[in-house]
Amino acid sequence: MRSPNGKHPAPTGRGTVIAAAARVPFSRAGSDYRELVAYDLARMALAGVLARADLAGAEVDQVVMGTVVQNVATSNVARDAALAAGVPDGVPAHTVTLACISSNRAIADAVLAIGAGHAEVVLAGGVEMLGDVPIGFKREVRRRFFDSRRYKGPKDWPAFFKGLKLKDLLPQAPAIAEFTTGESMGESADRLAARFGITREEQDAYALRSHQGAAAHRDRLAEEIVPVSVPPKGRVVAADNGVRDDTSLERLAQLPPAFVKPFGTVTAGNASPLTDGAAVVLVMTEERAVAEGRAGLARVRDLLFVAQDPKDELLLGPAYAIPRLLARNGLAWDDIDVVELHEAFAGQVLAVLRALESDAFGREKLGLAGAFVREVDMGKVNPWGGSVSLGHPFGATGARLVATAAHRLNVGGGRFALVAACAAGGQGHALLLERVGP
């Protein structure tokens, strides 16, 4: 079947399922995992899913991991972590990056490889270590470091410092801004909320809902987590540490604007926190998974990626991806039982949902007669919490979304689950799951 824009066919080939999943606890950046690097979290998650699935590393055909802020020492973190997790050295592994949908891209690579007959068993997921970002220097200082390779002794180093000021030698953290626009994602979220009339009170209420949902379903979420022992003292981390059981609308209302001051509506309380974590899913041919008696399966029915204006629609990708994905599968919003929507910011989630309910957006942006859906049933959307409460390790969130969507499908007995997420660069993703079994 062709997609609505006529460019890309829906995936075809062998049936593919999510057969198992595991993630390390998500922790606020620089907290539980401050002595580790991304490689450590990735190998823990990979080893965790192999153990949970009772699968030998030798049975894996490929490993794909997503990440955003790379450690140059492990630039192909998928390969290094796979070897450490017990996957034989004859199994290829590669790392992908697509901002906040990097692990969605990794899962898509796995699905497409299986559909094309290139693999039967793939480990796909992602990792992020935002508590240990690479620190750099100004371009001129970097150039001089490169030239210093030719220095033969101490007498050559005065040339390095000639003309530099002390401030030129100060380290620089990576810019948290869009390269093409120079605008931070938080600033874009503020403008998006204003465009769709999302108030500060609505954003705070949604953030509270996210924390309350995560707190209420802590036992369910624990089923997705593999506890990890953290050096140097071997302390066991078994739960996400970003969930705030004690937060309230009053506390959230006291927080100042984080990006657009003094009148912005995005705060530290209604945005996802910087987070360290890793998550992996086991992607298999449906035939093999069923033959091996694996339970709790979710079939990958279809997936797609979209892109739009990174200035005015940076975070609106799901509002474009969801209608296209459902239309080419002959489904409507009401056919979906489970929705897992990435919560970069509470205002972003609410803006996406409001766009789907908008007659003007439906006509002008989606080519529909009116709104894509008259009223979104919020009971379907992220009842177990989301990125605002659980945290958002950039490269790992997509795999968490897919794992939770499959989990909720099998707990609730629904048929279809929808995963959608936005990403830097004005990109987005949507994926459709179908429960396998009675």
Query: pLDDT of 270-320, one tens digit each?
Result: 999 999 999 999 999 999 999 999 999 999 999 999 999 999 999 999 999
Quick check: helix, strand or coil at residue 61?
coil
Q: Residue 8: which pLDDT band, with cuts at 50, 70 and 90?
A: very low
Which of these, 283, 356, 355, lies nearest to 326 by C-alpha position?
356
Known catalytic residue: 307? no
Token pair in block for residue 192: 């998006």
Is there a contact between 374 and 419 (Cβ–Cβ < 8 Å)? no
Residue 4's pLDDT is 39
Q: What is the pLDDT, as a whole number, of residue 290? A: 95
Q: Assign 13 a pLDDT band (cuts: 50, 70, 90).
A: low
| Cβ-Cβ contacts under 8 Å for 162 (sequence gap 6 or more) | none
Average pLDDT value for residue range 122-127: 98
3-class secondary-structure state, position 420: strand
Percent of the chain at pLDDT exceeding 70: 97
Q: What is the mean pLDDT of the chain?
A: 94
Average pLDDT, stretch 181-190? 93
Which residues lie below 8 Å from residue 430, measured CB to CB, with a gap of 6+? 303, 304, 306, 318, 321, 322, 324, 325, 418, 419, 420
Active site residue 80: no
- d(CA 123, CA 399) in angstroms, rounded, equals 11
pLDDT digits (tens, 9 = 90+) for 323-364: 999 999 999 999 999 999 999 999 999 999 999 999 999 999
Q: How far apart are CA 379 and CA 119, in angstroms?
A: 37
- Amino acid identity of residue 326, one-letter, is L
Catalytic member of 42, 49, 53, 100: 100
User: At 212, phi and psi to the nearest 5?
Assistant: -65, -40
**What are the C-alpha distances in Å from 49 to residues 22, 310, 386?**
5, 35, 21
Which residue shows structure tokens 């954003």? 203
Amino acid, res. 434:
E
Find where tokens 């006529």 sit: 6
User: Which of 96, 314, 5, 10 lies closest to 186, judged by CA?
Assistant: 314
60 pLDDT higher than 90: yes
CB burial readout 169-189, b (16+ within 10 A) else e: eeeeeeeeebeebebbbbbbb
All residues at 6 or more sequence positions from 263 whose CB lies less than 8 Å from its CB, including other chains: 257
pLDDT band, very low/low/confident/very high, at 370 (cuts 50, 70, 90): very high
Q: Which residue has the higher pLDDT, 9 or 103?
A: 103
Q: Are 17 and 231 in contact (CB under 8 A)?
A: no
Angle at 267 between CA 265 and CA 270, to 5 degrees: 95
215: helix, strand or coil: helix
pLDDT in tens, 199-222: 999 999 999 999 999 999 999 999
Instruction: State how far the Cα of 164 lies from the Cα of 170, in Å rounded to an integer.
Output: 11
**Residue 177: pLDDT band with limits 50, 70, 90:** confident
Tokens 């912005």 sit on residue = 264
Q: Which among 50, 422, 423, 424 is annotated as catalytic?
A: 422
| CA neighbor of 434 nearest in space, from 340, 292, 283, 302 | 302
Alpha carbon 9 to chain centroid distance? 24
Is residue 388 within 8 A of residue 274, CB to CB? The reply is no
